[in-house]
Structure 1
Amino acid sequence: MMWLKKAAAKIVYGHKSDEKSYARWLRQQGVAVGKNVHFYSPWTIRVDTQRPWMIEIGDNVHITADCSILQHDYSWSILEHQYGDVLGSCGKVHIGNNVFIGQKSLILKGAYIDDNTILGAGSVVSKKLEGNAVYAGVPAKKLMSLDEFYRKRQEAQKEEAVSLVCEYIKTYGHLPKPEALREFYWLFSGRDISQLDPIFKDTLFLNDSFDLSEKRFRSTEPLFSDFQDFLSYCESMVK
């Protein structure tokens, strides 16, 4: 029962039991959290609230599991022990609009992530990242522009969807249901929104961009005539 799972999670994780509770709690602490901000597995995410006014998170931001956002640094404690000085360390963290932060990434004091940025898993950020780009690494470095990544994803979608279905067939011995291809329906769905499977239509609402997504969806053509045509193609590729 879903309600029972939610109740149990609330008891165990408190304000981190779900993303809405965590976002609300962070705002209450004084962290600037925009609209449509998602915390995936929020019980694994740490946002430093020692000085909450030093962190701002924009709109449409996706923060995935095991990420940390820190605005202070206690390494000066080693200097105090060695030299005696107390040298406090703090820096503002800015995460712009439309940003994806991959799993286990670390956002340190002084980080500035501009709009329309994708940050790969396990990255470390302590300086400014210009927007409209993809970054990854320790420290995070620019891999490509957002336009380049867009074209790369367009080219890779068919190959990855076919691989997904082929591996499913090899594993389970039968064809997958539509929900397994929830993120790949542009490949095989007709462009009549009113006839679109609800499982697929829901994705148009995910990122507060329904109007743009609907317009783009209607202006393109699928590579396959329908779902069954796509599955038949995948079956022919199974070795």
Structure 2
Amino acid sequence: MNKILKLLAYKFLSPNSYAKFIGVKFGSNCKFRTKYFGTEPYLIEVGDNVQTSSNVYFINHDGGVGVLRNLYKDLKKTDLIKRIIIGNNVFIGFNVTILLGTKIGDNVIVGAGSVVKGELMSNSVYAGVPAKYICSIDSYKEKNSRFFLNTFSIEPVKKEEILRGFFLKSNP
């Protein structure tokens, strides 16, 4: 791909349009808030209803193979590259790094700052460095239910009024 064209696309396209432009395969109702899809974006496959926060990094290659290239003549031109596959209904938090070979199941939440490698089971919450299983989706719902407020997609002034009333009066 022409470097100038890719740079212009990066600068001017929305994250979703940019992902499509560089070859990320993704389903319906996805919302990317990142443009860091690595050097092999065409090896990233994302299901439906997936959202990322900002500063999420998708990395399909392992640069450490450079050490092997220097040690072994038969590996001089070797790369280590794997796919990334993300299921349906997944949220990926702020500043998460998803490493090569990762497979994330359906109905998964990945906490902010996590480094993800391997397979994350469906219906689960993961967080940490490296990302570890925290709890089930049902347990997450139960633990946080007292903080559920009907403020999604309402006007900011009304939302602020509700949040101030809830947090500053009741001190939960």
Give aligned-pair identity as a percent.
Answer: 33
> What's the offset of the Cα at 1:14?
4.6
Distance 1:151 1:65, change over 3 A: same
**Cα distance in structure 2, aligned partners of 1:107 and 1:125:** 5
* TM-score under structure 1 length normalisation: 0.58
> What's the offset of the Cα at 1:177?
4.2
> What's the offset of the Cα at 1:51?
3.0
1:134 alignment partner, one of 118, 125, 129: 125
* TM-score under structure 2 length normalisation: 0.78
Gaps of 5+ in 2: 1-6
**Aligned to 1:134, what secondary structure does the other structure show?**
strand
1:46 alignment partner, one of 31, 36, 43: 36
Question: Residue in 2 aligned with 1:9?
Answer: none
Instruction: Pick the structure with more helix per residue.
Output: 1
- Output aligned runs, 1:146-185, within 5 Å: 146-157=137-148, 177-180=157-160
**Cα distance in structure 1, aligned partners of 2:134 and 2:84:** 22
Task: Answer whether contact 1:124 1:140 (CA < 8 A) is retained.
Answer: yes
Question: Residue in 2 aligned with 1:37?
Answer: 30
Aligned length: 158
Matched, 1:79 2:68: yes
Distance 1:97 1:234, change over 3 A: same
- Measured on the aligned residues, the alpha-carbon RMSD in Å equals 2.9
Distance 1:143 1:77, change over 3 A: same
**Greater length-normalized contact order (CA 8 Å, ≥ 6 residues apart):** 2
Question: Residue in 1 aligned with 2:55?
Answer: 66
**Aligned to 2:14, what secondary structure does the other structure show?**
helix
